[in-house]
Amino acid sequence: MPTNNSEIRELQFENAQFLPEVARFLEEGHTVTFGLKGYSMRPFLEHGRDKALLSKPTTLQKGDAVLAEISTGVFVLHRIVKIDGDNITLRGDGNLATEHCKREDIRGFALGFYRKGRETLDKTNSVKWRVYSTLWMGLFPIRRYLLAFYTRIWMRLFGPI
């Protein structure tokens, strides 16, 4: 039986170099998996721990996690909170502020996330993910307090969710 001697190498790039290439691959119809950087999708997606699986966007709806180019060369992986024609409003789960872009600025759609080092995908079209998304978006008025509790108390006692 043949053995697999191939070695997996991990390369790290600055987002400004890496994400335009991701967008190009997605536009060509490929799926892309990459590790997450930043804290804007806390508490459920963690910097340096979790990975996103993206595909080319087809239909978009409120609650979808997408990769968007909010200005030239500036990308965010955030959730859609409002769609008004071609105007899209985004917000990271760990953010209070919003970003705005056009429909054509959406470069990728999150099919799911590999969380906590697992090899199984948490699919964004699953009931679990949709319920989570709906609840978390609905908690927006009090999220400031929930996020403060999470970062100041929960993480010190128990670590990331």
Q: Which domains are present in the chain?
A: 15-158 (2.10.109.10)
Angstrom distance (rounded) from CA 23 to CA 137:
26
Angstrom distance (rounded) from CA 115 to CA 91:
20
What is the reported pLDDT for 153?
Answer: 92
What is the reported pLDDT for 8?
Answer: 60
Question: What residues in the chain have per-residue pLDDT under 70?
Answer: 1-11
- CA geometry: angle at 135 spanning 95 and 83, to 5°? 65
φ, ψ for residue 67, nearest 5 deg = -95, 120
What is the reported pLDDT for 18?
Answer: 84
What is the reported pLDDT for 14?
Answer: 73
Helices of type H across the chain: 15-27, 127-138, 140-149, 155-158
Q: Which of 98, 50, 51, 46 is nearest to 76 (CA)?
A: 98
| pTM reported for the whole predicted model | 0.86
